[in-house]
Structure 1
């Protein structure tokens, strides 16, 4: 029986995040320590206070912003199509990550140097930020790739294989459990913090769950994401009607769901049966 409780997937998400956070933290600490030791070896006798403060504040600020690439990978995995949209979204997050990282370590350095009775001047942002952005682009790409690879492996392992999944799904509607045959679930739509299940008999039970978590569990059972707010049972589709501008209306018995042009893989899947 397919369990509708997404806690297993959520636990896997948390495990993947903390594993990546620990790994990235150890890597950053090791890299920055090497930078400090290299400076001390190349400049014996020189005061390394500035270098230590610089490396430490950069690391702390970067780690504080690590949730940005994690959230981006969760919302837009690297294998999500179309590719240009995925790259555009991650490029925008990269800019935000870099600005937040630089602003964070500048603030920390100003506070630390002020506490030491001195001042810190970052310089002209228009001149300095492009240099920092190039380094942040490399860091973001490495972190994003690591997050994606680890998350794909851990979360995928938490989703039962299709061969072990019988044809029922438990919908936790408040205190009650509605056990529905998968073939009787025509579609699932987002309703705020809840998901509304559209059943063949006309019932519409609600379950407190995100559509993304349900997609992870039902995707292997033939359910297709056709819209940011809709999942449909591909086996129950009876009609695809063009709506203009590349959008479609998907008919499943007495339910009509939207198919956005932003989900071309869903259209190809439904056309192919």
Structure 2
């Protein structure tokens, strides 16, 4: 039989089934997951929609007070184009905040990168909204003037940098709320009067804090781990618990006879591996006992094969 494609033995498979734990009814967090993406998109749409309507109304009021000869359709075009382009840029901003997270020891670097990010975001935002305005004005037989360009870009940036800041804070606050709701893990610390070992002690349990409550999860029950920004998600029984650490750090603490690195972003519990399927590229695809598929890069494939044989 090919060593790379081998389902786990029946005994090992049975050992990985959490029979000691009764079925847990779906929590509010579990029920939210199927609707999460819809809720997030709808939240952004409502936010920018309300902003566009409110901005249009206040601008119309200011125009009437000043007695300016500007048609009523102009303010909705201005506000609508701005909000529409900002909404289209949300996925890029969400991605960027994952790449540049704020952390206590790296906040200065993150702040500098976000300052550069705000400039790029503003340029894209202004360019897009001006293009929409020019197109709408042209369709109505009018001309939209955006000059001098350099001065107008600076003026718009001074407004956009505030919007960028608010959006980043909104995203990070939402992520913090999700982590608190989902449950955030930490390694149990030893007492202050106990000397630290030369070699980091392998944690047998992780402490999880969830909505003001604390409970323990056994390290041996973690099925797989995935790096996510400045967190590592511990996956067990269909749930993820973020642990504030790096994959390189947690790798040195977990039992190497049980946990194996298979990708720069993944580690697996050998007891929970179902089968390994080699790919033509030289990489592999791991199917876990719960059906989850995890990538295995060629760099770690040899070590995984060796550990499987030893097991």
Establish whether TM, by shorter chain, passes 0.5. yes
What residue is the counterpart of 1:217 in the other structure?
Answer: 234
**For residues 137 and 57 of structure 2, what CA distance do their matches in structure 1 show?**
20
Task: Identify if the C-alpha distance between structure 1 residues 43 and 27 changes in structure 2 by more than 3 Å, giving closer, same or farther.
Answer: same
What residue is the counterpart of 2:203 in the other structure?
Answer: none
* Secondary structure of the corresponding residue to residue 215 of structure 1: strand
For each residue in 1:209-244, what CA deviation from the matched residue of structure 2 results, as whole angstroms up to 9, or x when unmatched?
x52188133696867305xxx46246349xxxxxxx
Say which of 132, 136, 147 aligns to 2:156. 132
| TM superposition shift of 1:44 | 6.8
| TM superposition shift of 1:27 | 3.2
Q: Which moved more, 1:97-106 or 1:121-130?
A: 121-130
**For residues 46 and 62 of structure 2, what CA distance do their matches in structure 1 show?**
24
**For residues 136 and 114 of structure 1, what CA distance do their matches in structure 2 show?**
26
| TM superposition shift of 1:30 | 1.9
**For residues 83 and 255 of structure 1, what CA distance do their matches in structure 2 show?**
31
* Secondary structure of the corresponding residue to residue 232 of structure 1: helix
Q: Tell me, yes or no, if the aligned pair for 1:222 and 1:233 is still in contact at 8 Å.
A: no
| TM superposition shift of 1:150 | 1.9
**For residues 23 and 217 of structure 1, what CA distance do their matches in structure 2 show?**
33
Say which of 89, 112, 117 aligns to 1:88. 112
| TM superposition shift of 1:158 | 2.0
Work out which structure has the larger RCO, using CA pairs closer than 8 Å and 6 or more positions apart in sequence: 1
1:167 aligns with 2:218: yes
Spell out the pairing of 1:3-22 with structure 2 (5 A cutoff): 14=37, 15-16=39-40, 18-22=42-46
Task: Identify if the C-alpha distance between structure 1 residues 95 and 107 changes in structure 2 by more than 3 Å, giving closer, same or farther.
Answer: same
1:235 aligns with 2:253: yes
- TM-score, structure 2 as length reference: 0.52
1:62 aligns with 2:78: no
Spell out the pairing of 1:183-262 with structure 2 (5 A cutoff): 211-212=227-228, 215-217=232-234, 224-226=245-247, 230=248, 232-233=250-251, 235-236=253-254
Q: Tell me, yes or no, if the aligned pair for 2:85 and 2:129 is still in contact at 8 Å.
A: yes
RMSD: 4.0
Task: Identify if the C-alpha distance between structure 1 residues 66 and 41 changes in structure 2 by more than 3 Å, giving closer, same or farther.
Answer: farther
* Secondary structure of the corresponding residue to residue 78 of structure 1: coil
What residue is the counterpart of 2:211 in the other structure?
Answer: none
**Structure 2 unaligned runs (5+)?**
1-17, 22-28, 186-207, 209-213, 263-311
Q: Tell me, yes or no, if the aligned pair for 2:137 and 2:143 is still in contact at 8 Å.
A: yes
**Structure 1 unaligned runs (5+)?**
169-179, 189-209, 238-251, 258-273
